């Protein structure tokens, strides 16, 4: 059975994405008999072209994705060039994982509560530094050019890019490369960019592409921070899909295919920029110029990373503060009173979405961990690492969610499958599985196989050695992978919304639905619950091994 595990993983990732994309095509061209579309036509595309503001929607989706990805990557590389194992560096690296686990919607709400005209930042600066006695009439959020959307995406994607970069650096002997470049007369930061950056980028190319695909097609973040009239293309597609008029599904399918084209165009443009910048970069490296802007790079890299790290932390603080704030007039820096009434008011409505969130997240993560462990164990027994299909892990992350989930929804409706919990769990598994695999693969391969050999020499079978030696010794990384899977599942909005048909309600779907309202206190409560939920998994991942191995000091160190 183990030999089937890799194929099950590949098919679980490829078939839904490819099949969902293919089933988006017929409705996009007017063919969906269950809705009266018996003939193929270009009517949905003509209707799409006539949609007011469609060109601006495309431009904002395309531009915000490229700019957010580029800025996040630049900030990460600038910071990495300044790393010297100082206290600041260790502090940043310790914050990466907690910040990464914060769901996108919660991070977006926190960012909005910070930078809004009546947000926390202007309250702290007013009136002494700004002179404002009332909130200024500034369009800081939901601006038509997507600047707030770009800023929010940059802040949220930096931890992910920093984490994958830190994971790739040990493979490059970065310190030795910098030392060699410095022996040739280059200053530290310039030496890093000339000796390490060209080797690091190929290692993180697929994660960068995943960030770009997400940034061009995000729905929940765009609903909170993006423009409204018109919205980004992905948001409009979801609105058309959820329209009570079912004939709008044709328009939604055409929009979903257009979103695929926009994301593909952004990826192609990024690839072209890679080639263009790479040519100029190679010429700069070979030129041998000893630039003297090292101090500026140090200051900019650390300053931008400090800002990018503090903003989500302050955003979470703003959420917590708003959730317990009583009367709070502008420009007071702090609420006039603190109350738990908002939490008490929301608790009855929170119970069902919270437990539904935990059930879906736990089920999807447990399935993902079981599948990945089976595949890795099969790989170990064959003694042949699987590398050729690694890019398939990123397939659900490289294809816009709205592009294939709409097709899966159409297919399920044609098959007569009503929205159900297992369908949503299966949809979440598509996005949990890649992260669980990437989290477990290195610890599994680094496991000292001599422990298994020792167990076999004592009479254990191969399966017994797995259950009684390898799995207990790998309990901590397994639980960490499962906790990350829970965090990824909690943050999923679109799979729950589309495949759940509005009947499967989670904390995330409810929090995003509140974004159209103006009750900051209630939004603060729901967003805080969404932000806290992933931490439950990580806390359990830390506590369970300590409790199980409290009498075994050696096991606690694993």
* Per-10-residue mean pLDDT, the chain, length 558: 74 86 90 82 92 93 96 94 82 84 92 90 86 84 91 94 87 84 81 87 91 94 90 93 87 94 96 90 74 77 92 93 89 87 89 93 93 84 65 84 87 76 91 88 79 80 80 86 92 90 88 82 92 88 81 60
Q: What is the pLDDT at residue 76?
A: 94
- Output the pTM of the full model: 0.91
Report the SS3 class of residue 163: helix
Q: Look at residue 1 in the predicted model and tell me its pLDDT.
A: 63
Cα distance between residue 436 and residue 298, in whole Å: 34
Residues pairing with 38 in the sheet: 31
**Cis peptide leading into 230, omega within 30 of 0?**
yes
pLDDT of residue 545: 82
The Cα–Cα gap between 49 and 43 comes to 10
- How far apart CA 357 and CA 351 sit, in angstroms, is 10
* CA 410 – CA 35 distance, rounded (Å): 11
A 10 A CB-CB count for 216 gives: 29
Strands (E), 405-455: none
* CA angle centred on 285, ends 280 and 290, rounded to 5°: 120
Name 32's bridge partners.
Answer: 37
Nearest to 168 by CA among 420, 423, 438, 419: 438
Report pLDDT for 297. 81
Burial class (CB in 10 A: 0-12, 13-18, 19+), 309: buried
Is residue 77 helix, strand or coil?
A: helix
Strand 31-32, strand 37-38: pairing = antiparallel
Q: What is the DSSP letter of 230?
A: T
Q: Which two tokens stand for residue 482?
A: 């499962």
The answer to whether 383 and 11 are in contact (CB under 8 A) is no
Give 325's DSSP letter.
B
Tokens 């194929």 belong to 7
- Smallest CA-to-CA distance from 421 within 361, 371, 508 is with 361
Nearest to 294 by CA among 193, 370, 406, 373: 193
Pick the CATH number of 2-556 from 2.40.40.20, 3.30.465.10, 1.10.3720.10, 3.40.50.300: 1.10.3720.10
Q: What SS3 class is residue 37?
A: strand
CB contact at 8 A, 445 and 385: yes
Alpha helices in 383-420, H assignment, sequence order: 395-398, 401-414
pLDDT tens digit sequence for 234-278:
999 999 988 888 888 899 999 999 999 999 999 999 999 999 988
Contact 122, 114 (CB under 8 A): no
338: three-class secondary structure by DSSP: strand
β-pair partners for 31: 38
pLDDT at 556: 55
Q: Where are the domains of the chain?
A: 2-556
- 11-64: per-residue pLDDT in tens? 888 888 888 899 899 899 988 887 787 888 899 999 999 999 999 999 999 999
């Amino acid at each position: 059975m183990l030999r089937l595990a890799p194929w099950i993983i590949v098919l679980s990732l490829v078939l839904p994405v490819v099949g969902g994309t293919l089933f988006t095509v017929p409705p996009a061209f007017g063919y969906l008999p269950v809705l009266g579309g018996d003939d193929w036509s270009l009517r949905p595309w003509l209707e799409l072209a006539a949609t007011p503001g469609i060109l601006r929607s495309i431009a904002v989706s395309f531009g915000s994705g490229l700019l957010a990805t580029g800025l996040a990557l630049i900030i990460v590389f600038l910071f990495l060039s300044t790393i010297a194992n100082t206290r600041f560096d260790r502090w940043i690296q310790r914050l990466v994982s907690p910040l990464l686990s914060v769901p996108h919607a919660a991070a977006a709400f926190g960012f909005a509560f910070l930078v809004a005209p009546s947000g926390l930042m202007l309250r702290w600066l007013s009136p002494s530094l700004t002179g404002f006695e009332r909130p200024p009439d500034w369009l800081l959020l939901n601006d038509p050019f997507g600047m707030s959307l770009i800023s929010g995406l940059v802040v949220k994607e930096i931890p992910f890019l920093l984490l994958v970069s830190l994971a790739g650096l040990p493979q490059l002997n970065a310190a030795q490369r910098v030392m060699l470049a410095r022996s040739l007369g280059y200053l530290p930061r310039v030496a890093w960019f000339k000796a390490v950056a060209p080797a690091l980028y190929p290692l993180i190319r697929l994660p960068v592409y995943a960030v770009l695909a997400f940034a061009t097609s995000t729905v929940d973040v765009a609903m909170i921070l993006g423009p409204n009239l018109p919205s980004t293309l992905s948001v409009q597609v979801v609105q058309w899909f959820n329209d009570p008029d079912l004939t709008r599904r044709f328009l939604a399918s055409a929009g979903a295919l257009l979103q695929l084209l926009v994301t593909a165009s952004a990826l192609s443009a990024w690839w072209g920029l890679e080639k263009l910048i790479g040519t100029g970069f190679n010429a700069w490296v070979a030129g041998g110029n000893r630039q003297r802007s090292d101090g500026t790079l140090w200051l900019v890299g650390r300053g931008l990373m400090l800002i990018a790290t503090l903003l989500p932390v302050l955003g979470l603080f703003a959420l917590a503060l708003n959730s317990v704030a009583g009367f709070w007039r502008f420009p007071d820096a702090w609420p006039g009173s603190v109350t738990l009434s908002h939490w008490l008011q929301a608790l009855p409505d929170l119970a069902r979405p919270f437990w539904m969130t935990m059930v879906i997240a736990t089920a999807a993560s447990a399935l993902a961990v079981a599948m990945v462990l089976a595949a890795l164990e099969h790989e170990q027994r064959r003694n042949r690492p699987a590398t050729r299909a690694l890019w398939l892990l990123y397939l659900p992350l490289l294809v816009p969610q709205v592009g294939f989930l709409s097709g899966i929804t159409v297919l399920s409706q044609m098959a007569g499958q009503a929205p159900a919990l297992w369908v949503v769990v299966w949809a979440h598994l598509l996005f949990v599985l890649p992260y669980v695999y990437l989290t477990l693969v290195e610890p599994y391969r680094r496991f000292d196989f001599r422990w298994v050999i020792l167990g076999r020499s004592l009479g254990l079978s191969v399966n017994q050695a797995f259950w009684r030696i390898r799995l207990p010794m790998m309990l901590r990384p397994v639980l960490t992978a499962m906790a990350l899977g829970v965090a990824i599942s909690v943050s999923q909005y679109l799979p729950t919304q589309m495949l759940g048909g509005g009947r499967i309600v989670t904390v995330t779907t409810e929090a995003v639905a509140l974004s159209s309202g103006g009750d900051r206190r209630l939004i603060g409560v729901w967003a805080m619950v969404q932000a806290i939920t992933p931490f439950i998994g990580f806390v359990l991942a830390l506590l369970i091994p300590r409790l199980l191995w409290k009498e075994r000091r050696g096991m606690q160190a694993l």
